[in-house]
Amino acid sequence: MAASRLVGAYPVIGIRPTIDGRRGALDVRGSLEEQTMNMAKAAAKLFEENLRYSNGEPVKVVIADTTIGRVGETAACAEKFRREGVDITVTVTPCWCYGSETMDMDPHTIKAVWGFNGTERPGAVYLASVLATHAQKGLPAFGIYGHDVCGADDTDIPADVREKLLRFGRAAVATASMRGKSYLQIGSICMGIGGSIIDSDFIESYLGMRVESVDEVEIIRRMTEGVYDQAEYEKALAWTKEYCKEGFDTNPEHLQKSREQKDSDWEFVVKMMVIIKDLMNGNKNLPEEFSEEAIGHNALAAGFQGQRQWTDFYPNCDYPEALLNTSFDWNGAREPYILATENDVLNGLGMMFMKLLTGKAQIFADVRTYWSPEAVKKATGFELTGLAKESDGFIHLINSGAACLDGSGAAKDENGNGVIKQWWEVTEEDQKAIMDATTWHYANNGYFRGGGYSSRFETKAEMPVTMIRLNLVKGLGPVLQIAEGWTVNLPEEVSDALWKRTDYTWPCTWFAPRITGKGAFRSAYDVMNNWGANHGAISHGHIGADVITMASMLRIPVCMHNVPEEEIFRPAAWNAFGEDKEGQDYRACATYGPLYK
Ligand SMILES: C[C@H](O)[C@@H](O)[C@@H](O)C(=O)CO
Ligand SMILES: [Mn+2]
């Protein structure tokens, strides 16, 4: 697997097999040692086989050297976990244990407890007891209790327990992966977009990340002084000439650039991409004299200002944004970068959350236009059917640049369905199909006087997707919105007619949110009308429940979602804040506050 591009270890999961410490004639502990350690081994195997870091490597899991019956063993386990870089702990037990003596009291770990539902020994009673103690001590933990009683010798993990362990694991690894990494801002506030007004305190205290900032002149300096890997640049340019097919130029004839100027723009934007890569993650292949630049900014995500000043003068950043967000480039499949356009740091963070949860490339889009069935009929004569009809219309998602090319849905699963794959599953065939589904159009001179090339594709597959938005509200703090739904594959003539009414040379996705009939999900119109900003981050898959679990770990309340209530999994202490799932979330997040305050 690819090595990490970033400095800073990936989070390790520590399993804590916890046990009743009583010996004596009946040796309670002795009778439970094997079952307890087997639970730990089963949980470790589940994580190792199903969880991966964003770089594609299996998640590292360690188990305490012994079962944990008394506080001395608790301390020994904590010491081992400290040495191993454990950020996440899962305590497992089939029996009664002594909660405050055996619980994980490290204030910085993300915690879960699995109490085996077997009636021979009171594992569930310990679970309830230690979760109460976690709540009393302000160390909220996730509680996992299987629905059905299992036999004491059952070593299989029940399906509902498996689902919760994996949801917890994905969200905890995503949350802890951010610790110590950077968000790189290239340029500054973009066209007055609030999301591009970076809030370092939020990024530091909620995400545990650092903000790095670079003026865009650095890109020009590096181009001018040759601070880039010449061989890499030439390889990238050759690949680009072969696979990035130019499409129609919609600019008026008198504004269209010459072939020489267009070729010069290709060279410029390819150079921009290799330089932005280096800015984000460094590059040991840079010429010796550039040892400082070789270090990079250790950025897990970044944003580029683009509009306006840069794009009024230089070729735009659409090519670097599109390809860096994609699952591959001239070097083949590789971990997608997160590069937000318009320097919308809040949307970039949303993309980052979901890439860390899924290992998939992400789409950045304007939440541009709600199309009602009536408006579509009036504009095209077409009667909506299927998902678009069920959602009472659909939303046009379109923004130049930072939509991953995977968003066309040109990669196919084993059944021939269009998907966005985990990047390590993307084949050469997928890469070719995705590039064939994309054309590159000279930049709209109205918005991008400096030129450049915009990627263009239409999401032609009907795919499950999740759109989220991270918003900052003064006096409240961060909130998250989540809309699960599907991409809609409209008949070509219908899509064309609607697309032509706006930016016809940009990536285009038609989105039908799942409608619940309630609140902001009464119709697709209500989703748009309640959306908190101009942009959304879109991931393949219905991952809203994972986002909700991750948000609770980050202490970010969810203000809007259409995830079925039974899928909501948050720390057990949330139940103490009331029965209504939304209100308890707000109250709990306000009480616990940011992880790194
Ligand atoms: C029209 C502006 O130049 C575009 O940037 C606009 O479509 C946006 O994406 C604003 O978020
Ligand atoms: Mn936009």
Residues recognised as catalytic: 342, 366
CB 478 within 8 A of CB 202: yes
Work out the burial of residue 366: count CB atoms within 10 Å of its CB; fewer than 13 is exposed, 13-18 middle, 19 or more buried: buried
Q: Is residue 41 part of a domain?
A: yes
SS (H, E, C) 151-173: CCCCCCCCHHHHHHHHHHHHHHH
> What is the rounded CA–CA span in Å between residue 296 and residue 7?
10
**Annotated binding residues for Mn(2+), as ranges?**
342, 366, 535
Q: Are residues 171 and 239 in the same domain?
A: no
Q: How many CA atoms lie within 13 A of 170 on its CB side?
A: 22
> Do 243 and 224 share a domain, yes or no?
yes
Return the best residue to mutate from 316, 397, 444, 534 for the ligand 1 pocket (most ligand atoms within 8 A of CB).
534
Q: Which residues contact 597 (CB under 8 A, 6 or more apart)?
A: 205
- Tens of pLDDT, residues 349-394: 999 999 999 999 999 999 999 999 999 999 999 999 999 999 999 9
- Alpha-carbon distance of 190 to 345, in angstroms, equals 10
Q: Does residue 1 form part of some domain?
A: no
Calculate the alpha carbon distances from 224 to 208, 220, 230, 232, 268 in Å: 35, 6, 12, 16, 11
- Contact 512/488 with Cβ under 8 angstroms? yes
Amino acid letter, 393: G
User: What is the pLDDT, as a whole number, of residue 3?
Assistant: 56
Q: What pLDDT digit, counting tens, does each position of 234-251 carry? A: 999 999 999 999 999 999
Establish if 3 belongs to a structural domain. Answer: no
168 and 188 belong to one structural domain: no
At 509 the pLDDT is 98
Q: Does residue 447's CB lie within 6 angstroms of at least one atom of ligand 1?
A: yes
Q: Which tokens hold the place of 435?
A: 């590039």
SS (H, E, C) 247-280: CCCCCCHHHCCCHHHHHHHHHHHHHHHHHHHHHH
Q: Which of 196, 396, 399 most suits a substitution to test ligand 1, by most atoms within 8 Å of the C-beta?
A: 399
Shared domain for 221 and 356, answered yes or no, is yes
Domain-embedded: residue 4: no
Cβ-count burial 455-487 (b if 16+ within 10 Å, e if not):
bbbbbbbbbebbbbbbbbeeeebbbbbbbbbbb
Same domain, 98 and 120: yes
CB 435 within 8 A of CB 459: no
Ligand nearest, relative to CA of residue 316: 1
The CATH number linked to 413 is 3.20.14.10
Same domain? For 151 and 211 the reply is no
Question: Where a domain ends, among 163, 178, 193?
Answer: 178
Tell me, yes or no, whether 504 lies in a domain. yes
Please give the structure tokens belonging to residue 279: 């800015």
Q: Which of 132, 159, 178 is the last residue of a domain?
A: 178
Asked if 422 and 448 sit in the same domain, the reply is yes
Cα–Cα distance between 235 and 237 in angstroms, integer?
A: 6
Residue 366 Cβ < 6 Å to ligand 1: yes
**How far is residue 56 CA from its own chain's centroid?**
14
Average pLDDT per 10 consecutive residues for the chain, totaling 597 residues: 67 98 96 96 98 97 98 98 97 96 97 93 92 98 96 90 98 98 98 98 98 98 98 98 98 97 98 98 95 97 96 98 98 98 98 98 98 98 97 98 98 97 98 98 97 98 98 98 98 98 98 97 98 98 99 98 98 98 98 96
Pick from 57, 118, 72: nearest CA to 92:
118
- Ligand 1: centre distance to CA 249 (Å): 19
SS3 call for 61: strand
Q: 318 in ligand 1 pocket by Cβ < 6 Å?
A: no
Strand segments, DSSP code E, in 488-525 are: 508-513
Instruction: Kindly tell me the number of DSSP H helices and DSSP E strands found in the chain.
Output: 19, 22
Structural domain contains residue 17: yes
Q: Tokens for 95, please give them.
A: 């029996």
Domain membership of residue 85 (yes or no) is: yes
Do 387 and 465 reside in the same domain of the chain? yes
* pLDDT on residue 123: 85
Question: Is 197 inside any structural domain?
Answer: yes
306 vs 348: CA distance, rounded Å: 14
**pLDDT score at 4:** 65
Does 199 share its domain with 136?
no
Place of tokens 């004491």: 152
Q: Give residue 177's identity as a one-letter amino acid code.
A: S
Ligand 1 pocket, 534 CB below 6 A?
Answer: yes
Question: Contact at 8 Å (CB) between 386 and 327?
Answer: no
Q: Quick check: CB of 18 below 6 Å from ligand 1?
A: no
Phi-psi region of 561 (alpha: psi -120 to 50; beta: other; left: phi over 0): beta
Contact (Cβ atoms closer than 8 angstroms) between residue 328 and residue 421 = no
Only one residue has tokens 């699952």, namely 327
CATH of the domain at 74: 3.40.50.1070
- Which residue range(s) make up the domain with 40? 12-178
* CA 504 to ligand 1 center in whole angstroms: 13
Same-domain status, 217 and 194: yes
- For residue 432, the model assigns a pLDDT of 98
Number of structural domains found in the chain: 2
Same domain membership, residue 188 and residue 171: no
Rounded to an integer, what distance in angstroms lies between the CA atom of residue 597 and that of residue 593?
7
Element (H, E) at 367: strand 363-371
Q: Of 143, 178, 213, which residue constitutes the final position of a domain?
A: 178
- 532 shares a domain with 412: yes
What distance in Å separates the CA atoms of residue 115 and residue 123, rounded to the nearest whole number?
Answer: 5
